[in-house]
Amino acid sequence: NAGVTQTPKFQVLKTGQSMTLQCAQDMNHEYMSWYRQDPGMGLRLIHYSVGAGITDQGEVPNGYNVSRSTTEDFPLRLLSAAPSQTSVYFCASSYQGPGEAFFGQGTRLTVV
Amino acid sequence: DQQVKQNSPSLSVQEGRISILNCDYTNSMFDYFLWYKKYPAEGPTFLISISSIKDKNEDGRFTVFLNKSAKHLSLHIVPSQPGDSAVYFCAASAGGTSYGKLTFGQGTILTVHP
């Protein structure tokens, strides 16, 4: 009964480094998405996917890449980390159509 | 351009009383609305939702009201309990292939005092 699993939970990066945040879901959901949460700004959509092989940009996509080769996995890549990407990142999944999205526990990323 | 706004950063209520959290939206394409609850160091968890074809949805102590003409929704918690203390986010999505794209408000910190 894992739901949405994110790894790692915490990460410190130096400016310019790259890394991949992992997200996996075991509910066979079509939709997967990445959000970032910053103080006073709620959660903002970075990228989303409506199925394997299909991705699109959200509200704040710059500096991030995604791909979806399987239904279960939706990794988020930071190409060259910047201090402005210091944030808490949440992955979510849901069925197509109206309904709740299930969120992972989050990854707290600090870029120094 | 903040399409979903929660204008009260915080709310403090006494245990047993009603908590009312408010949310306003500007995008007329939104047709599905959700409330999430978030504890520190955890992901948001779903509380309750409402479709634009309804004006009220109830689930136990939680009721969501939708006023489409005013583009306003509210979450009522009755009675409030100390365990309800958390950050509450309202979220909205448009229809079709956009149901998975949620637009969130800034959140309201609810504190319920024993």
| Cβ of residue A23 closer than 8 Å to a chain B Cβ | no
User: Could you tell me which chain B residue has the CA closest to the CA of A100?
Assistant: B46
Mean pLDDT of A82-96: 96
Token reading at A51: 């199925």
- Could you say which DSSP state residue A73 is in? B
Question: In B, which residues are within 8 Å of A4 by CB distance?
Answer: 43
> Mean pLDDT across the stretch A50-57?
94
For residue A1, pLDDT over 70 is answered with: no
Angle B93-B102-A74 from CA coordinates, rounded to 5°: 130
Within 13 Å and on the Cβ side, how many CA atoms surround B22?
A: 9
**Whether A26 contacts A3, CB under 8 Å:** yes
CB contact under 8 A, B51 and A98: yes
Question: What integer best gives the mean pLDDT of chain A?
Answer: 95
Q: Taking residues A9-36, what's their average pLDDT? A: 97
pLDDT digits (tens, 9 = 90+) for B38-70: 999 999 999 999 999 999 999 999 999 999 999
